[in-house]
Amino acid sequence: MEVELKEMQDDLESLKRALSDPNHHPLILKLQERVDHLTNLAKSATTRRSKVKDMSAEVVDSNPYSRLMALQRMGIVENYERIREFSVAIVGIGGVGSVAAEMLTRCGIGRLLLYDYDTVELANMNRLFFRPEQVGMTKTDAAVQTLSDINPDVVLESYTLNITTMKGFETFMESLRNQKYCQTKNGTGVNLVLSCVDNYEARMVVNQACNELNQTWMESGVSEDAVSGHIQLLIPGETACFACAPPLVVASGVDERTLKREGVCAASLPTTMGVVAGLLVQNTLKYLLNFGQVSPYLGYNSLKDFFPTMAMKPNPQCSNSPCLERQKEYMLAKPARDAAAKAKMEAEASLVTECPIHADNEWNISVVDDESELETTDAHTSSDALPTGLVRELPSADDFQKPPVPEETGNPIDDLEELRRQLDALNAD
């Protein structure tokens, strides 16, 4: 629009020169003032912040990263600025994927790869992110428009394609393998793939790609009644892949497309999808920036505000052959991995005795006498002590949320084999 207005200004100037009668000049001057005014209006509507070279922790209103860099001062993240080195692929830019993309963009992620083939509809307006004026645009174009406006520091790559088609899958694989911006240990160009698709077929395609590439990914989903959801971490060879324990409806050979009927649509809510996107990106940040406990699986039942967790081992009878290869590699590398983990633990243990924690004590935190039984009721204290009079309905997090140690939990392999046999028997009917 600014280009058009500039050209109008030139046209008016040449018109003024061409007019011999100076009586007409005031009218032209008025027109020129109008164009100036419009130019200002257009400018204020498209003001974009300039790119930032380094993430600063300076506490000024003009610093878009001050609240994120504060995570270092608070002792949550060791080096927040590392986030600029990471590439994350998001498959499916719908109710969950678009919000996940916005969160990562606002966190200042290095590079985002976006995949979707759908267009924005008014029927999507009950979820966050897309705006009514974007109706008719492809979801990838609309996302790039909004995200580049929010944070010009993020490198955005968008792919308007369907990964479940042959050609789409090829381009998808190629883009994940491209190491121009980012090189990972496993030989891909992305650190994490987030699956935010809405059907089983597309999930199986992401699973196939990630198993082939030995690419760690996270899966997410929201139920058709809009009130439940989940996220799951999948590490090829180490955890169950998506084909290791498929939902019954698909394992039993029913084509899921026959389940969809004309004039019937799934329900959706911005709340459930916002929560699932938040949990997904929080798990992503914990995984990439190495803080807190990365959840292997986290469910969200909104009717009861219940959040189940669990861990799943891979199925040695999995029908996906790259999964079996990754399982073999994982088993073979186990002795070296155990030795490295032990060495790291010992090194950390010796480090702890060498220097005091929080030497600078920015927040003047002091140790309170154990004799005092008073405790703050703030939600973020994870202390076991509750103020007198308050009753805990759940055991404390430490009691049961021990980090999952799949190697030590019974022998689920035999059980999964049993499940497989039952599924096969069902398919044979």
Strand spans (E) along 77-184: 87-91, 111-116, 155-160
Structure tokens at 151: 């944070």
Least distance CB 349 / a copy of itself (angstroms): 21
Rounded to an integer, what distance in angstroms lies between the CA atom of residue 367 and that of residue 74?
A: 17
Q: Which is nearer to a copy of itself, 112 or 176 (CB)?
A: 112
Rounded to an integer, what distance in angstroms lies between the CA atom of residue 93 and that of residue 279?
A: 16
Are 205 and 173 in contact by the 8 Å Cβ rule? The answer is no
Q: Which is nearer to a copy of itself, 30 or 180 (CB)?
A: 30
Least distance CB 405 / a copy of itself (angstroms): 11
Task: Using alpha carbons, list the distances in angstroms from residue 412 to 313, 385, 402.
Answer: 7, 36, 18
Are 311 and 296 in contact by the 8 Å Cβ rule? The answer is yes
Q: Which is nearer to a copy of itself, 22 or 335 (CB)?
A: 22
Q: CB-based burial of residue 18 (10 Å sphere; 0-12 exposed, 13-18 middle, 19+ buried)?
A: exposed
Q: Which is nearer to a copy of itself, 175 or 199 (CB)?
A: 199
Active site (catalytic) residues:
265
Least distance CB 204 / a copy of itself (angstroms): 14
Least distance CB 260 / a copy of itself (angstroms): 11
Rounded to an integer, what distance in angstroms lies between the CA atom of residue 103 and that of residue 305?
A: 23
Q: Which is nearer to a copy of itself, 34 or 167 (CB)?
A: 34
Least distance CB 175 / a copy of itself (angstroms): 25
Radius of gyration, alpha carbons of the chain: 27
SS3 content of the chain, % helix, strand, coil (to 5): 45, 10, 45
- Residue 61 main-chain phi, psi, to 5 deg: -60, -25
